[in-house]
Amino acid sequence: MGPRRFRWVLHVDLDQFLAAVEVLRRPELAGRPVIVGGRGDPTERAVVSTASYEARAYGVGSGMPLRVAARKVPDAVILPVDRPVYEAASGHVMDTLRGLGTVVEVLGWDEAFLGTDVEDPEAFARRAQRAVLDATALHCSVGIGDTRVRAKIATGFGKPAGVYRLTAESWTSVMGERPVVDLWGVGSRVARRLAAHGIGTVSQLAAADEAVLVGEFGPRMGAWYGELGRGEGSAVVDDTPWVARGHSRETTYQRNLTTPEQVTAALRELAAQAHADTEAEGRPVFRVGLKVRYAPFFTRTLSRKLPAPTRSLDEVTAAVLDLAAGLEPGREVRLLGVRAEMVMPSGGAGAGSTPVRGRV
């Protein structure tokens, strides 16, 4: 169907998705605190991917170091991430939603936007919930909005397994006095920058002078943050198949890398993995990125556009190693990541007019 503007945007979010899938595989885990992350070993460096509601009651959340989560909930069941199983479960859910006869824009394993022009969006939302539950035994929450932003934020008020509507009429009464970090797309760093201008609540952001926001964040993001404070934005839902712009590979090392030789060897391996991912799509690379996390926990990212798009592993690796020359000598490294950004199929970003060099 492609992109369309709808009267109502619904945001469907699967509740505690990874943990719920694991409980379906192991019914004896129902009602117990379940944590999914890494290889399921809390003695290793890894983070929580998802925690069941029983584990969240102890303060466990996504992104928390697995060893910290294990200390918070000593009797938790900690399981490794099983991507193929989650991808299959997600695909089943998305196919079920498409069976409702509406546009479905997939956002990730566990969430999607739906567009509809029905008179009773709550009834449609409950229909979607029943369809997903009947087909997969998974529960979901549904946010209803007149924009994508409002639908996305509404979902949080509907959890777990509920339905909530948030519109222009109710936006200020529901969101006005809430802190700006409750908005989709505002993290703690942006919140601190807004606080420096006396902006702490959603209503204050909505009423902020656009010139102040533009001065702080630039013309595009400054205007966007102002719209976000008012819950404004697009009501378009687009089911056009998603095309990856790039592929990333990263590793958290169980022991810090301490020598340049170790870093170089690790980057060669990551570059080869990311390059293999791009080769599977048959698209050349036009930009590479490098992510490094020094011990104890300071992260830096670097990127570079290549002289010309290429499918050569040697050229991709050389560009990554050139970026690595900018790393701080003598600092121990706990994580490395390599990203390879590809020319889009339509000849988009990075395509330029330079012919692609031959495959190596």
8 A C-beta contact, residue 308 and residue 354: yes
d(CA 50, CA 16): 7
Say if CB 342 and CB 284 are below 8 A apart: yes
Which residues lie below 8 Å from residue 244, measured CB to CB, with a gap of 6+? 281, 342
CB neighbours (10 Å) of residue 340? 28
Give dist(CA 24, CA 11) in Å, integer: 24
Three-state SS annotation for 142-197: EEEECCHHHHHHHHHHHCCCCEEEECHHHHHHHHCCCEHHHCCCCCHHHHHHHHCC
DSSP 206-271: HTS-HHHHHHHH-HHHHHHHHHHHTT----EE--SPP--SEEEEEEEEEEEE-SHHHHHHHHHHHH
Residue among 360, 340, 333, 342 nearest 266 (CA): 333
Q: Which of 33, 21, 31 is nearest to 58 (CA)?
A: 33
Half-sphere exposure of 21 (CA within 13 A, CB side): 23
- In the set 111, 232, 332, 341, the catalytic residue is 111
Picking from 208, 210, 207, 231, the residue whose alpha carbon sits closest to that of residue 220 is 210
Q: Which of 203, 209, 234 is nearest to 222 (CA)?
A: 209
End-to-end CA distance of the chain: 39
The answer to whether 111 is a known catalytic residue is yes
Q: Which residues pair with 336 in a beta bridge?
A: 251, 292
d(CA 318, CA 343): 19
Helix (H, G, I), strand (E, B) or coil at 46: coil
What does the chain come to in residues? 360
By annotation, the residues acting in catalysis are: 111
